[in-house]
A and B are shown apart, each in its own frame.
Chain A
Amino acid sequence: MEATMTNATASTAEQKIQDRTVPESTVGEVHVENPRMTARAVDVYYGEKQAISNVNLDIGLGQVIAFIGPSGCGKSTFLRCLNRMNDTIDVCRVEGEIKIDQDDIYDPRIDVVQLRARVGMVFQKPNPFPKSIYENIAYGPRIHGLVKSKVELDEIVESSLTRAGLWNEVKDRLDQTGTGLSGGQQQRLCIARAIAVSPEVILMDEPCSALDSIVTAKVEELIHELREQYTIVIVTHSMQQAARVSDRTAYFHLGKLVEVGETKQIFTSPTHELTQDYITGRFG
């Protein structure tokens, strides 16, 4: 027996959605003319449990693509396939084919270190290293041997921080620890850290969920500027954010990619009922 009317309403809405079948194939155009990364028939399992099934998706060169969908639908899981961060989870198994510029990233001959230098990642919670701001940025270029001299390294640090819109705030205290910055500054530091190794793709998993609205606006502005040089994949729970920053939007549901298309189209005239329900805020 339901205790309140509100619960009862929610329950029926859920029921309605349960009744709607998740489509076997994705609605909308999964292909783009000029893909940087392509995923074909990707299945992901955590042990016995399947978290992603049969996802086909192109990630366009120089585009921002947003992944949206209810909690637990597999957005992070799929995102983490793109730079093989799932390798760090023992029970995780990825099937299918993911390519970056025609190279299969799960090919045994591909070194995961090289892949991650090409596909950078920014996490939900800012995780700067407990070292100086300078060291935070310099670490990546140094381990990959991108620079030959201290001068070049200084240059990388400065331009990465500048691109991340943080240079003016921290230029006088590069030797202070990165963890001493505010949350928003820390997240931009993490973005600068990712930029410093000149990746082709930057993956962002809910980069603004720990930030307030003003700082979020700053980070969104930054994403806007970064789209010129990088391909960006962003997972977000905020529909407005997806609408503001992305060119294309992919809607995930229960491990399936339900619908994908131009952001404008997804938000104004979604094709699939599940997408409609989610966009209009009926659940999620």
Chain B
Amino acid sequence: MTDSTQMAQTGILDKLTPSTVAGLVGKSLTKRNRGETVFQAVGIGAISLAVVLVLILFGSVFSKGLPAFWQMHINLDVTFSEDRIKVAAAPVREDFANDAEYQDARNKWVNSLNFVNYNALLLDALSKHIPEANDDRRAALALVTSGERFALRDLIANDPSVIGQTLPLTLLADANVDVWLKGNIDRSLPDEQQQLSAQTREWADRLYAEGIIENNFSTALFMNSDSRSSLASAGLAGAFMGSLFMMLIVIVLAVPIGVCAAIYLEEFAPTNRLTSLIEVNINNLAAVPSIVFGLLGASVFILAFGLPMSAPVVGGLVLTLMTLPTVIIATRSTLKAIPPSIREGAMALGASKVQAITGHVLPLAVPGILTASILGVAQALGETAPLLLIGMNAFVTSVPTSPLDQATALPVQIYLWQGNELRNFFEGRTSAAIVVLLAMLITLNSIAIWLRKKFETRW
């Protein structure tokens, strides 16, 4: 058919001899190659820009956050002298008829510990290094963060035998001492702009030089919950537990519900008006701003259902609603990607639809479903706005022990801390909290990658 004599008509194809074609292709090739180079350059540029921005972000967060994991501590030999601790002997179980009576007596005794003058104990200990400490008691006591008085009380309560002994203790320094010694405040500022008195600053410098005050890794950030009276011991434990409870609720609710909904919609649902309406709504739901879910949570879960304010259970439910569309959409696209020949193969052998799905489709979809779920959970973990609307920005000083207790969440804690008046101290604290949050997110994503690799089917 290439023989031109057979052609009924001559057209453009006849004018294209091999040599002209070669020339034209060569010409267009230069253009195409240029296009390709430009495209690659743009791509590489975009990636470089993204990498640089991420590095800047991580760099600034880590450079501020990591030092905050180390805090100034004062090493003191605290004498629990009987002169200072004038309380009755601790009750012993054997002296009582039953547990209830013993508990009663013990509670009374622990209560009596609240009247001990712990400042006096601290002053005694400080005087060993600063003989003139008693001349300016306020200045001396300002070295140790206020929360450590309760730590001393708890020490006695847990082990009454310490009374009369001298123990070497490592106490947290006050937040302002931390700021001063780390140089996070301009040392040349005049006295009235300094948070600490001149005397305290002088003593702090002296103890630091003598090695009595040391910059050590601090567990306060992880073990304590938020605090306003003793800023140096403010920690993330409460927020961490709050986030953990919410994540558990999201995993337990959003993942199974989302996956089941996706399987039904994708594999079983008939195609009709109703299902396409549902489909459109799910897609729309994924685009609804998260703060709207917070409003919904406040009006439905708290007002209508009477669930407690500020509780992780409400936060978890709100985040579940928010995560559901993500999980459903991602699971459906995973299911769509499974070749229909696998389903047909199973059904042709006599497998029922459910058997074909559970036996052949789902195993292939597991990696995708897991990835989708974990990314959904990670998204929920970092969510702040809806939690503010259900009161999870409350100031909570105790670590929640159940999803019904009051709590905050990690991102909310970050939000609260970055607004704290003591900027110099909380800037580091905030960054440290961000580091913890990032660490959790990276862990979740790594788990997602690991699971995907583990369950991936090799074709």
Which A positions have Cβ atoms within 8 angstroms of B?
A: 1-6, 8, 83, 85, 88, 90, 113-117, 120-121, 123, 125, 127-130, 139-140, 143-144, 177, 179-180, 190, 193-194, 197
Contact = CB atoms under 8 A, between A and B. Distances in A.
Given A5-B8, A194-B349, A129 B360 contact: yes
A114 B350 contact: yes
Interface string B268-285: 001100000000000000
29 contacts: A2-B8, A3-B9, A4-B6, A5-B1, A85-B347, A85-B348, A114-B350, A116-B350, A117-B350, A120-B348, A123-B344, A123-B348, A127-B342, A127-B344, A127-B345, A128-B345, A129-B360, A130-B459, A143-B349, A143-B355, A143-B359, A144-B350, A177-B458, A177-B459, A180-B458, A190-B345, A194-B348, A197-B349, A197-B350
A140 B350 contact: yes
Contacts of B349: 116-117, 120, 139-140, 143, 193-194, 197
B347 A88 contact: yes
Nearest to B364: A130
Contacts, number: 84
Contacts of B270: 90
A90 to B, nearest CB: 7
B350 A129 contact: no
B188 interface: no
Contacts of A190: 345
Given A130-B459, A143-B355, A1 B348 contact: no
A129 B9 contact: no
Interface in B296-354: 339, 341-352
Contacts of A116: 347-350
B11 interface: yes
A252 B8 CA distance: 35
Given A90-B270, A123-B341, A5 B457 contact: no
Contacts of A180: 458
A140 B438 CA distance: 48
Contacts of B339: 127
Given A2-B8, A88-B347, A177-B459, 4 more contacts: A4-B8, A5-B8, A123-B345, A190-B345
B100 interface: no
B97 interface: no
